[in-house]
A and B are shown apart, each in its own frame.
Chain A
Amino acid sequence: MVYKRKRHKSYRRRTFEIGIVLLVIVSVVLALAFVKRPINRTEDWINPNIISSIDLVERPFEYDGRELEFIGEAVGERMVRSSLSGGGAWIHLNDDPYMYTNVGSGGPLSGYNSGSAVWVKDVGLTDAIKNYGGYQVRGDAIKVVGVYNMACAQHGGDTDIHAQSLEVIAAGGMSKVPVDTWKLLVAPLLLVIAGVMYLINRRRIRDEIKGLFKRRSARDA
């Protein structure tokens, strides 16, 4: 009877201790997980377009075949097509809050990118675009006027704008991503610690690397 009570008591205490440890781990992980960066200032963002790319996606049947003006940051690159593949050039214009300040350059987080594919029949018009947005590059802000196609028959059903005119309204350029000072301190320190951990394990690692190259003919159990 006494033995049964003692065993039950130690079992309850063990469960309690393990529970406390798990609770602490879960709390730390949850705290890290739900700590958020300052949220976007989308209420400050005014889309330069009367009909935005989001409107075009949300109400495609309403705008299909309509001529409209579209302003956005040129991203990616220009893709010039041969006459065999339809000619013209493809560009992509994003009308999202990142078009003036992207995340890498310190811009606030504001959700996904949003924009429209634009096909320009006269390739020469796209020569005016000097900067295409990417990492450390702010693309030129471009205004096109053209016809919106919900499912373009000429281009395999793609959603696009066939631009008749193109204008650069604001030049882009380099937007350097600054290096955080704390990373310059932490990175080499961690590298040194990792090196020490490797040295502690080096003999075992050497044996395992030798073992990797041994001929293997045995079946698994």
Chain B
Amino acid sequence: MILRPSADSHRVIGKYTGKILVGLGLLMLVPLICSLVYQEWSVALDFTISFSLCMVVGFGAQAFFRTERDLTWSEGLVVAAGSWIWAVLLAAIPYYLSGHMGSYLDACFDAMSGFTTTGLFVLQDLDHLSNGMNVWRHVLTYTGGQGIVVIALTFLFKGTAGAYKMYVGEGKDERLLPNVVQTARAIWLVSIVYLVIGTAALFVVNLWLGMSPARGFILAAQQFMGAWSTGGFAPMSYNGMYYHSLAAELIIIAIAIAGSFNFALHWAVWTGKRKEIFKNIETITFSISLICLTSVAMWGLIKMGVYEDSLSLARKAFYIIASGHSGTGLTVIYNRSFVTMWGPIAMIATIIVMIIGGSACSTAGGLKVFRVGIFVKSILADVKRSMLPESAVLKVKYHHVKDSYLTDKLSKSVAMIITLFLITYLSSGFLGVLYGYDFTQALFEGVSALSTCGLSCGVTTPAMPDGMKVAYILYMWLGRLEFLSIFAVGGYLYSVLRGR
């Protein structure tokens, strides 16, 4: 028998959602201050309106839904998943007010893309966008990469048992420190230290490339946020092609790969366990797949006869494959060039790396290299088991922060998640075909959305059918939070309607 949620359950969900929306409003102060500094008065008004709306809704929810009760597991998951939808609806407001969006749906598309660190966008006339709006786009990916719940835990929660449930609901389960609020703050500490170092490095490069100090600094901060969050937003429409610099490309890709690594790995390295980089199953799997698929992409490009010299070939192939694998989505070729220049082999290599994705508990999406590593180990273990005597006991070890043994339960859960993802990936391809797109291109784009990668072969445009925009918004949400939270929201709504 399904029990209908009690009134107190609705109150606790409403209260914590309100807290998260207040956090979102406070984030809007960053672009608001930026637009005041640059004297972009119309933009400043847009963010004043949006900030005020967040405060009204957030404080209003907390005032209306009064309760002292803590969250249960399912309520935590519902808050984590549901608050993303509310956050997208509110974060879309400055986009819509800017005048660069064709509709409020387009604004929601870009807001969801930002929060989920995807990087697909339908914003028009990016090269004439204000500094305030551009900062907002990048702040969205930077904070979305950490997680909206993580932000709220860092600044707005005293620390409750329910906080951990929301943290897990956002697709993370690594405990860096004993307390989840401390863990959230540790994640922020790692991100902010890298922000300072990465922005400084890119600022120096930008000056060397010939930019003015003011422009070089703001672009450096945005480049870092786009790369570290594995978001893929770029301040200019030329994306990574704008800089024409090997140094800039190497630094950005290094930041992107670092951003795609597990925060627990970063914390382990920071606390002296440097060998973790070489022992961790995620870094090993990532390295092997990156090398193999870069080679495949290079082979495809050689067949197409695109690049005359091997340095250009290696540079372009490595950048795109690393960008896709880390789930970043920054690019050094035009979107349509995947189809008109790169050809099917390199495109398929890119699709595969997007599917594999980055590490768990990172800013990246996809299946996650942890699951792929476990899946491969499980298959190898089964093959080995079939060759051993029946009475033999086979124990398979793997290292992920600590040594663990592969269990049937873990193998089964990994296989289930991989199957769910693969079915959803295929459905995204078929959706594009229904709308008249070529299957490879539709699959490329659908995988990019579901893996929250953001590489595009030209399917995503402002003129894309509205049905596909809605579907991609849901794919991005699903890809970022993974299935557990979405099922919790679905279950909650079902129990409201059908519970006794």
Interface residues of A (CB under 8 A from B): 11, 15, 18-19, 29, 32-37, 39, 57-61, 75-82, 85, 89-90, 92, 94, 98, 102-104, 107, 109-115, 117, 119, 133-137, 150-153, 155-160, 177-180, 183-184, 186-187, 190-191, 193-194, 197-198, 200-201, 204, 208, 211-212, 214, 216-221
**Cα separation A11 to B497 with both chains bound (whole Å):** 9
Q: How far is the CA of A3 from the CA of B326 in the complex (A)?
A: 60
A104-B99 CB under 8 A given contacts A59-B340, A98-B125, A158-B244 = yes
Residues of A within 8 A of B181 (CB): 216
A158 touches B180 (CB 8 A): no
Mind listing 25 A-B residue pairs with CB under 8 Å?
A11-B500, A35-B104, A36-B102, A37-B102, A58-B336, A58-B340, A76-B127, A76-B236, A77-B212, A85-B209, A85-B245, A103-B100, A103-B124, A111-B463, A115-B237, A115-B238, A151-B316, A159-B337, A177-B40, A193-B52, A194-B55, A217-B178, A218-B159, A220-B161, A220-B180
A102's partner among B125, B209, B332 (CB-CB below 8 A) is B125
Taken together as a complex, chains A and B put the C-alpha atoms of A159 and B158 apart, in Å, by 53
Contact between A110 and B124 (Cβ–Cβ < 8 Å)? yes
The number of residues on chain B lying at the interface, defined by a beta carbon within 8 Å of a beta carbon of chain A, is 88
Interface of A is mostly: mixed
> How many angstroms between the C-alpha atoms of A153 and B498 in the bound complex?
65
**Contacts of B161 on A, CB cut-off 8 Å?**
220-221
Within 8 Å by CB of B497, from A18, A61, A134, A201, lies: A18
Taking a contact as CB atoms under 8 Å apart, the answer to whether A34 and B103 are in contact is yes
Q: How far is the CB of B74 from chain A (nearest CB, A)?
A: 15
B476 CB, min distance to chain A CBs, angstroms: 16
| Cβ–Cβ < 8 Å partners of A37 in chain B | 99, 101-103
How many angstroms between the C-alpha atoms of A171 and B103 in the bound complex? 32
Decide yes or no whether B62 CB sits under 8 A from chain A.
Answer: yes
Taking the closest CB of chain A, its distance from the CB of B67, in whole angstroms, is 12
Cα–Cα, bound, A184→B496 (Å): 42
Contact B158 A211 (CB under 8 A): yes
- Given A37-B102, A112-B462, A211-B158, are A191 and B312 also a contact pair (CB < 8 Å)? no
| Contact partners of B291 in chain A: CB under 8 A | none
Say if the beta carbon of B56 comes within 8 Å of chain A: yes
Q: Which residues of A contact B128 (CB under 8 A)?
A: 75, 98, 102-104, 133-135, 137
Which chain B positions have C-beta within 8 A of A98?
Answer: 125, 127-128
Binds A, one of B281-289, B302-310, B350-358, B364-372: B302-310
Chain B nearest CB: distance from A89 CB in Å? 7
In the complex, B393 has a CB within 8 A of chain A: no
Contacts of A178 in B (CB 8 A): 42
CB of B329, distance to nearest CB on chain A (Å): 16
Nearest CB of B to A125, in Å: 15
The 8 A CB mask of B331-365 against A (1 = contact, 0 = none) is 01110110011000000000000000000000000
Q: What residues on A are CB-neighbors of B124 within 8 Å? A: 103, 109-112
- For A153, give its contact among B236, B308, B336 (CB under 8 Å): B308
The answer on a CB contact under 8 Å between A212 and B244 is no
CB of B99 within 8 A of CB of A113, answer no
The answer on a CB contact under 8 Å between B41 and A179 is: yes
Contact status A81-B210, CB under 8 Å? yes
A57-B336, A57-B337 known; A190 vs B131 contact (CB < 8 Å) = no
- Report the minimal beta-carbon distance from A194 to chain B, rounded to whole angstroms: 4
Q: Contact string, B180-206, partner A, CB cutoff 8 A, digits 1/0?
A: 111000000000000000000000000
Q: Which of B43-51, B260-268, B399-407 contacts A (4 or more CB under 8 A)?
A: B43-51
**A183-B308 in contact (CB<8A):** no
Q: Which of B46, B97, B241, B496 contacts A159 (CB 8 A)?
A: B241
Do residues B334 and A159 form an inter-chain contact, with CB atoms below 8 A? yes
**Closest CB-CB distance, B307 to chain A, in whole Å?**
5
Q: Is B126 an interface residue (CB 8 A)?
A: yes
Q: Which of B38, B45, B130 has the most CB of A within 10 A?
A: B45
- Cβ B313 vs Cβ A157 within 8 A: yes
Q: Are B210 and A212 in contact (CB under 8 A)?
A: no
B273 interface hit (Cβ, 8 Å): no
Q: Tell me, in angstroms, the Cα distance from A57 to B175 when the chains sit together.
A: 47
Q: Determine which of A81, A94, A150, A159 lies in contact with B127 in the assembled complex, contact meaning CB atoms within 8 Å.
A: A94
A112 vs B496: C-alpha distance when bound (angstroms): 43
**Apart from A76-B236, A218-B179, A221-B164: 5 A-B pairs, beta carbons within 8 A:** A77-B210, A92-B238, A104-B99, A179-B41, A193-B56
